[in-house]
Structure 1
Amino acid sequence: MTHPIRPLQPGATLGVMGGGQLGRMFVHAAQAMGYRTAVLDPDPASPAGLVSHLHIQADYLDPAGLQQLAEAAEAITTEFENVPAQALRTLAERRPVAPAGDAVAICQDRAAEKAHFGASGVPCAPHAVIETAEQLAAVSPELLPGILKTARMGYDGKGQVRVATPAELAAAWAELKQVPCVLEKRLALQRELSVIVARGADGQIVHFPVQQNLHRDGILAVTQVPAPEVDAALAAQAVERAGLIAAEMGYVGVLCVEFFVVDDGQGGSALVANEMAPRPHNSGHYTIDACDVSQFELQVRCMAGLPLVMPRLHSPTVMLNLLGDLWFADGQERTPPWDRVLDLPGVHLHLYGKTSARPGRKMGHLTVTAATPEAATATALQVCALLGLPAF
């Protein structure tokens, strides 16, 4: 059986599976609202575990660890989608869990995710599932050139290979050890967007403004809100489709849906769903500084059965991801010039408490808020120059 979510007042303990930066920001939000927190993560130096009331250092499928979390917490959530769905199902036998294991399982598998988009009435890129040599041989030439993606455990551009010919496709599948994959047709991409929604157990749904994103090497680099190149009609369509995707799953919690804006072949634009994440999202980190309710507070409200309120963007904003590369210059480790960066108006620095920097590792983010989008962009470009980041 699953346990219904009932209102949990501040003072209760909220649990989270996973101890990375998303868990850390969830813990901060929960504690600010008066809740106690418990984190289950195997890493003794996990960013969330270091700031939580309780850190259960155990594997995600460890029965004793799961039992300890269920005893300590009155409701439980997850901070990343690769927590085993079965662990969430096990916890749900004793405590309210949001999002549910079945919803997380859909988000963990690209093939199931694509099927769910279709069931929700939301278009995605033309694609084919490849699990056998026969399916590989049957791939339509119309899907090439394309991108071959592993069906599971892919994030930040990992597990993806660009292919242009049947021979390249076969070689790429062999390179990926012939695990189940999804081949997506490469589309003429205009820009990338994301929408974060929060849905309560009663079906109430609220959303943040549409976010325009820039990725570099498969990792999010820049988010701008309001989205500078998105008109009201396209924004409304993106919000509506994200809501449909959440409702079709009976989803409870914070969900991010990433979209591609592509050429429609007639000189216009079309919106297709790319992927979704069953949790707060990197592209929504700006909400801490630029909105009156952050994505992490909405995560707390969803799992605690509290009312949801429509977030309000009070400041135009630009969010910059801070990767470990910034801590190295000319082969030498260094501290980035935070004093010079923080001398600029409207700059908010968030570092995640990770014990060591390495190239490509998400170490923090920086949000710039201002009275106008133009002012936020101008300051963000100054930050890029100071840190040695590419302009956008």
Structure 2
Amino acid sequence: MSRSSQQSSTQHSESHHSESHHSESRHAQARLVNPGATIGMVGGGQLGRMFAMAAASMGYRVVVFCESSDTPAAQVAHHTVVGKLDDETAVESFASMCDVITLEFENIPAATMERCADHAPTYPAHRVLEIAQDRLLEKSTLAGAGLRVTPFVEVSNNESLLAASETLGWPMVVKTARDGYDGKGQYKISSADELGQVDWSSASSWIAEQWMPFDIEVSVVVAISSNGESTTFPVFENQHRNHILDVSVTPASITEALATRAREVATRAAQTLGVVGLLCVEFFVVGDDVVINEVAPRPHNSGHLTIEACHTSQFEQHVRAVCGLPLGSTTLRCPFAAMSNLLGDVWLDDQDQLVTPRWNDAISIPAIALHLYGKHHPQRSRKMGHLTTLGQTRDEVIERVTAARAKLSP
């Protein structure tokens, strides 16, 4: 496993062309999908919702394929195809309506995206999903390209985990290789005495990663168009609570040189995977370098603040990328921006009884933008919406957005 640093030969700029060897055949097949056409969105969550809203504002029709007619994305789509995502008849019905197809969550069945591609250009390709859905394959692929990832070993039981400690040391983070997110399916194991914590029967494949002391966590959203153009958004600095993103702020509190490096490494990762659309790369900042933690081939929670903060939001950029349009400017409209997640906890009191958040109090604070996702059943730790603000200083935006959120609760 390589831990070497990326040696970039590409001069960073806001927009440049992909040099991936995957890109030649893919871009040769690309075609411009103009406003007025129909975009298919596989998945009905909040990322699909915000994508559909951005697409509609640009004159596109959006057809959502999901398992309920009242999902966040279905509420704002022009049309919804309801069915199991692996139902071949439903896939055919959906894909036949579309001029181009994309997705909002990487755990869509790869076979579904492969079938969609028989009807319309489909981004990202099913091969990208096959990699992104398996942490072992993802990390092996990125490490094989010379990108620095958290050191890892495949494990399957207590014996193999104990053996992994000889390479990775203690503590380790043990994760399911597939399907985990927001801390689900993860265990921090600090010594051999804690091996019994892992429920090996709950998943078929596992990965152990070295516990990586880091300075801060940051993320970069990369856009690569079907025509080969690419660009990155400013670096987001992320604070988590209980493994769930709590607050994001941009620009991140890192040097300009390190921010440039993070953007270059993220672009290289997207090129390595052959992504068309968006890829978010989550990094640990360790000294004067960045280490890839995870990637997601879609818009990302940390990028929600781009709706207000950037000349082009991550969702509009997603539309532009899959439709082969020129990518938009990712520069900030204001020196700083911050976002805070709104979880279902805001709607629940100490006895888990529903309460009405104090919306008036929160949005009475100047320069606060409210986004709710249309979810009807608040649950603790469930993402229900977010708040965003812009300002002149880092402290100003963080204090304002967290103060507004605090005013929501009784």
Residue in 2 that maps onto 1:100: 125
Matched residue, 1:325: 345
Matched-pair contact (CA < 8 Å) for 1:256–1:279: yes
Contact 2:362 2:405 in 1 (8 A): no
Partner of 2:367: 346
Q: Letter of the aligned partner of 2:293 in structure 1? A: N
**Counterpart AA for 1:299:** H
Deviation at 1:4, TM superposition (A): 2.8
Secondary structure of 1:138 counterpart: helix
Verify: 1:256 aligned to 2:275, yes or no.
Answer: no
RMSD in angstroms over aligned alpha carbons? 1.9
| Equivalent of residue 278 in structure 1, options 284, 294, 297 | 297
1:338 Cα shift? 1.0
Three-state SS of the structure 2 residue aligned to 1:237 is helix
Separation of aligned partners in 2, 1:153 and 1:297: 27
Correspondence list, 1:219-368, <5 A = 219-227=244-252, 229-262=253-286, 268-315=287-334, 316-331=336-351, 332-368=353-389
- Does structure 1 residue 208 correspond to structure 2 residue 269? no
1:168 corresponds in structure 2 to 194
Report the equivalent of 2:398: 377
Question: When the two structures are aligned, how many residues end up with a matched partner?
Answer: 382
Give deviations 1:245-287, integer Å, cap 9, x for gaps: 011122111110000113xxxxx44311000011000000001
What is the Cα deviation at residue 176 of structure 1? 4.8
CA distance in 2, matches of 1:14, 1:381: 36
**C-alpha separation in 1, matches of 2:31 and 2:377:** 40
Q: Report if the CA contact (8 A) 1:131-1:178 is conserved.
A: no
CA distance in 1, matches of 2:62, 2:244: 29
Consecutive unaligned residues in structure 2, runs of 5 or more: 1-24
In the superposition, relative to structure 1, how do residues 373 and 137 fare at CA in structure 2: closer, same or farther (>3 Å)?
A: closer
Cα distance change on mapping 1:240 and 1:176 into 2, 3 Å: farther
Q: CA deviation at 1:56?
A: 0.5
Cα deviation, 1:92-139, whole Å, max 9, x if unaligned, reads: 122101111111211111001111221232111111011467744632
Q: Name which of 79, 101, 113 aligns with 2:104.
A: 79
Structure 1: how far apart are the matches of 2:365 and 2:158?
57
Kindly tell me: are residues 246 and 178 of structure 1, through their superposed partners in 2, closer, same or farther at Cα, counting changes over 3 Å? closer
Question: CA offset at residue 68 of structure 1?
Answer: 1.1
What amino acid maps onto 1:165 in structure 2? Answer: S
* Superposed displacement of residue 46, structure 1: 0.7
SS in 1 for 2:223: strand
Superposition TM-score, scaled by structure 1 size:
0.93
Map 1:188-203; keep pairs closer than 5 Å: 188-203=213-228
- Report the residue type matching 1:335 in the other structure: T
The question of whether the paired residues in 2 share the 8 Å contact of 1:20 and 1:47 is answered with: yes
- Calculate percent identity across the aligned residue pairs: 42
Residue type matched to 1:346 in 2? A
- Asked whether the 8 Å contact 1:123–1:273 carries over to 2, the reply is yes
Alignment correspondent of 1:155: 181
- Which residue of the partner structure matches residue 265 of structure 1? none
Report the CA distance between 1:234 and its aligned residue. 1.2
The answer to whether 1:67 aligns with 2:92 is yes
Give the TM-score taking structure 2 as reference length. Answer: 0.89
